[in-house]
Amino acid sequence: MTQILHENLIPDPFTEQVTVRNYFDGEWHEPSNGQYLDNYNPSTGKVYSKIPDSSAEDVSRAVAAAKKAFPVWSTTDKETRAKLVHKLADLLEENLEAFAQYETMDQGKTLTMSRNVDIARAVYNFRYFANLLTGQTTEHVGETKYMKMVTDSAGAPIKANALSYTNRTPVGVAGLISPWNLPLYLLTWKIAPCIVAGNTCVCKPSEFTSVTAMMLTRLVKAAGIPDGVINMVFGLGASVGNSIVTHPDVPLISFTGGTVTGKHIARTAAPLFKHISLELGGKNPALVFADSNYDETLTSLVKASFLNQGEICLCPSRIYVEKSIYERFVTDFRQLARKLIRVGNPTEKTSYYGPLVSQIHYDKVQSYVKYALEQGYDVDFCVDRELRPEVSSISETGALTISGCEGGYFMAPTVITGCSQKSRLVQEEIFGPVVVILPFDDEAQAIEYANDTSYGLSATVWSQEQTKLRRVAGQIVAGTVWCNCFLVRNLDMPFGGFKSSGVGTEGGVHSIEFFTKVQTICLG
């Protein structure tokens, strides 16, 4: 076990306050304005760390460091780059437990999720892209092709035997901006392909979940990744994020976050002709046909709807059920949610999910529940107090008080029925432990409903008829459609959203394509 994290920079978890610092040019820095933001533990609602409230000046310094490092890093041979990235993965794996503890403290997700999903998959992101790069041969280093002979207007050959090939090169300094729901996982999903492809970067993690990103900088240094290749500036989106997006020396932006922010970034970056990828919000339909495997579908959807407090952009949040089984499904769904979904202290093994990430997000999710109650919809908070002694109170909007975690942002698994397809609850992303269930008449209506929102991120389809699965999946306007499964992620596969869920595709070679520019060279 490499003991890096607890030397100086990261104090003892749970006892001392963590102060996050910016990292650029291989050093840790105070924000130039000396200002810090409070960072809250969502399980208690108490401040447990300080985050730099950085400014444009900090961003400029970090970009200058990344720009300085680019010429050497981009021409370092790919085996060396991959070896350093593998070293970073090894260090992260050795320190997985500390990272998982902090991810849970910062985000509110269960320790089980942090260990088995977030940090484990952050390790895998580095390994996967390091391997992908070293495995690449001609396609990205200059494939040669004989050009077809062309003629001038008189029919005489212009040039015979010309040779054309493509040359893929890194783009330069990348701005990598990430959200709070899968903090280290989504940040490393960007850093890994970015740097293995030879770019340098300035990262801006979410202000709600910055701690594990700063911990990563310790490992970056220890792995021997050259100074200036990975830089981090912490703070607010409107200041740090916006300064990265508008900086003239940052030609590429990879952003994951909300659709409203994505629109703003698209508007800002378009006239600057930046290379952008936007992974945005979703309102993911699940289509349950009467011929599905009933028990498996029910269990999968109960677990999927409330995974990570419903704070995964891919979670199903509107479930459409074929009319013939609708009533039974709703009853069983609520009952199973009471049985399976335990809300509690995220460090406890028995908890299925923990608190929502922040007061502001909690207020937003609660406002949707209030709206549903005002509209007279059927709102069921799936908590059985007999089975859940740790729930010391439940409010009329489903807010929970958990013994030992008083002050935390906990909410009941919430199931809403009785609303129409056009309701805000069906159309807007809530991003919490709240699902709506609606009936459909037939396949055509199921597809129509699935496609009737502005989003197009993911969907699930549940049926035992293979031809129906393929037929329906192909008609759903969403970047990923899972049939009889959920969240199976193969990193070789393209990932991206349609409509208001995003622009661009990442994953596998698509990420490498995004993080490089391609040039055609013709030798006459």
Residue 193 in the binding site for ligand NAD (CB under 6 A): no
Cβ closest to ligand NAD, residue 178 vs residue 417:
178
Best CA proximity match to 520, nearest among 147, 220, 204: 147
Contact window for ligand NAD (CB under 6 A) among 86-94, 178-186, 288-296, 336-344: 178-186
Q: How many residues bind ligand NAD (CB under 6 A)?
A: 31
Residue of 27, 94, 207, 279 marked catalytic: 279
279 is catalytic: yes
163 token code pair: 């040779």
Site string for ligand NAD, 196-225 (x = CB under 6 A): --------x-xx------------------
Q: Which of 264, 364, 468, 471 binds ligand NAD (CB under 6 A)?
A: 264
Burial of 60 per CB tally in 10 Å (0-12, 13-18, 19+): middle
The residues, any chain, with a CB within 8 Å of residue 133's CB and separated by 6 or more, are 78, 81, 82, 196, 197, 512
Instruction: For residues 253 and 175, give the distance between their C-alpha atoms in angstroms, rounded to a whole number.
Output: 5
Cβ closest to ligand NAD, residue 257 vs residue 408:
257
Residue 504 in the binding site for ligand NAD (CB under 6 A): no
Instruction: For residues 398 and 137, give the distance between their C-alpha atoms in angstroms, rounded to a whole number.
Output: 55
Contact window for ligand NAD (CB under 6 A) among 30-38, 250-258, 285-293, 407-415: 250-258
Helix axes 78-94, 211-223, angle to 10 degrees: 130
Task: For residue 253, list its beta bridge partners.
Answer: 175, 276
Contact window for ligand NAD (CB under 6 A) among 61-69, 105-113, 130-138, 237-245: 237-245
| Phi, psi for 446 (deg, rounded to 5) | -60, -45
Q: Which of 53, 106, 118, 279 binds ligand NAD (CB under 6 A)?
A: 279
Residue 181 in the binding site for ligand NAD (CB under 6 A): yes
Residue 180 in the binding site for ligand NAD (CB under 6 A): yes
C-beta separation of 51 from 37 below 8 A: yes
Task: For residue 252, list its beta bridge partners.
Answer: 174, 275
Q: How far is the CB of 357 from ligand NAD (least distance, A)?
A: 8
Q: Which of 310, 456, 502, 507 binds ligand NAD (CB under 6 A)?
A: 502
Distances (CA, A) of 334 to 83, 288, 371, 381, 440: 50, 16, 20, 8, 19
Q: Which of 37, 92, 177, 512 binds ligand NAD (CB under 6 A)?
A: 177
Q: Which of 198, 257, 504, 507 binds ligand NAD (CB under 6 A)?
A: 257
The residues, any chain, with a CB within 8 Å of residue 496's CB and separated by 6 or more, are 277, 279, 479, 502, 503, 504, 505, 506, 507, 510
Residue 494 in the binding site for ligand NAD (CB under 6 A): no
Instruction: For residues 197 and 273, give the distance between their C-alpha atoms in angstroms, rounded to a whole number.
Output: 21
Q: Which of 282, 316, 413, 456 binds ligand NAD (CB under 6 A)?
A: 282
Q: Catalytic amino acids?
A: 279
Binding site for ligand NAD (CB under 6 A): 177-181, 186, 204, 206-207, 236-238, 241-242, 245, 256-258, 261, 264-265, 279-282, 313, 429, 431, 457, 497, 502
